[in-house]
Structure 1
Amino acid sequence: MTASPDLGTQASPAPTELPAAAYPEGAVSPAYTAGEEVPASGVFGSDVFGADAFRSVFRRHAAGVAVITAAGTRPAGFTATSLTSVSAEPPLVSFGISTAGSAWRTVADAAYLGVHILGEHQEDLAATFARSGADRFAPPTAWAPGPYGVPLLEDVSAWLVARVVSRIPAGDHRVVIAQAVAGAPDGPARPLLYHQGRFNALRH
């Protein structure tokens, strides 16, 4: 499946300087010596390290799948693969959201958000919330208003309601940091993953 603009990216922008420890011994790009400042426009040789190359790298990174929801004039939500636990005291999470995505305007104004960690049985739900133009809260999506009116999805592995602390500009995205105020890990435990541009179940 190809990620829509609503499907969160999984990393911060590439650094402009690579320390000596960034590569194993002998693996430093031949165009640069270890610790040398690297131009932001290119990393290996004269090639420009652009968005396509960046996405190709992160297709190799298996990430958990979450759905972020917000209440507004109409409920809004999107599939994110960038959810991160930032701090336990206080309990903070972060995620990235595209400013071109359909959910951004609602998330930008919301004081509280729903954070849902999906189980392996919810690939269709993840696809619905990643699909541009979809009516994401129409049947068969099962949901109900939760604390602070936040839309909460049913049958997820775990959920949080979180108060937005900050929205940080990051390229064509915003990094949202929010503090959990309620939640439960009561659902099915096996996670849904996103890898190589498609949803996958965890395999042993």
Structure 2
Amino acid sequence: MAAFPTGVAVITSLDVDHRPWGMTCTSLCSVSLDPPSLVVSLRSASPTLDAIQEHGGFALNLLHARAQTTSHRFSSGDPERFDQTEWELPPRARGPHLRADAHATADCALLSTTVIGDHTAVFAEVKRVITRDLAPAPLLYGLRRYARWPGPAANGGDLDATR
């Protein structure tokens, strides 16, 4: 799957003591438009997954192209990652919002989980989406390296496979 480029997100939640937990995730997919729902795949031994299951939800922070350092920080397991990252917990948030690093954040309610090998598929309903108009292009990851979303196509954004 390393050859398949995808967007980069940080999944965040709170444990029963309201401590923040989070991890970088590139395994995510839309599941349904009605109700709006998605699935993320998380390592089953992850304390972030434990927090999601305790709290009943999470925030999906879609990182922008200037947030590569945050992606590294949340994939490292650094116990001080929230001390080194700007975050907030707005009313009705399902987890910390990484406002400075995310071009969009979705607050999601846990629907169900399914264990598959060493990972757990987490199905969730999107309850709210916050977009930030001034954020740069999305951060992408593929072929074991980061990239940024290219600029708009010359023909107004339509893709044409014949060119």
Q: TM-score band, normalised by the shorter chain?
A: 0.7 to 0.9
Q: Are residues 149 and 82 of structure 1, via their aligned partners in 2, closer, same or farther at CA, if it must alter by over 3 Å?
A: closer
Which amino acid in 2 is paired with 1:113? F
Choose the corresponding residue for 2:10, options 64, 67, 75: 67
Aligned to 1:95: 40
1:142 partnered with 2:92: no
CA distance, structure 2, for counterparts of residue 65 and residue 163 of structure 1: 20
- Deviation of residue 153 (structure 1)? 1.1
Which shows bigger deviation, 171-180 or 100-109?
100-109
Judge conservation of contact 1:69–1:151 (CA < 8 Å) in 2.
yes
Q: Which has the higher strand share?
A: 2
Matched to 1:172, the amino acid is D
Instruction: Give the secondary structure class of the aligned counterpart of 1:120.
Output: coil
Query: Where does the alignment leave 5 or more consecutive residues of structure 2 unmatched?
Result: 152-163
Distance 2:132 2:40 in 1: 22
**Structure with a larger share of its residues in helix:** 1
- Cα deviation, 1:147-173, whole Å, max 9, x if unaligned, reads 246211113110111100001111111
The count of corresponding residues between Structure 1 and Structure 2 is 146
- Indicate the structure whose relative CO is greater, using CA pairs within 8 Å and at least 6 residues apart: 2
Which of 66, 73, 84 matches 1:128?
Answer: 73
AA aligned opposite 1:145: L
Aligned-partner SS, 2:68:
helix
Tell me, yes or no, if structure 1 residue 176 matches structure 2 residue 119: no
CA RMSD of aligned residues (A): 1.6
Q: Identity of paired residues, percent?
A: 27
Q: Structure 1 residue 105 and structure 2 residue 50: aligned?
A: yes
Look up the SS of the partner of 1:107 in the other structure. helix
Name the CA distance, whole Å, in 2 between partners of 1:111 and 1:149: 8
SS at 1:143's partner residue?
coil
Structure 1: gaps spanning 5 or more residues: 1-57
Aligned position for 2:104: 158
1:128, 1:134 within 8 Å by CA — same for their partners in 2?
A: no
Between structure 1 and structure 2, the one with the greater Rg is: 1
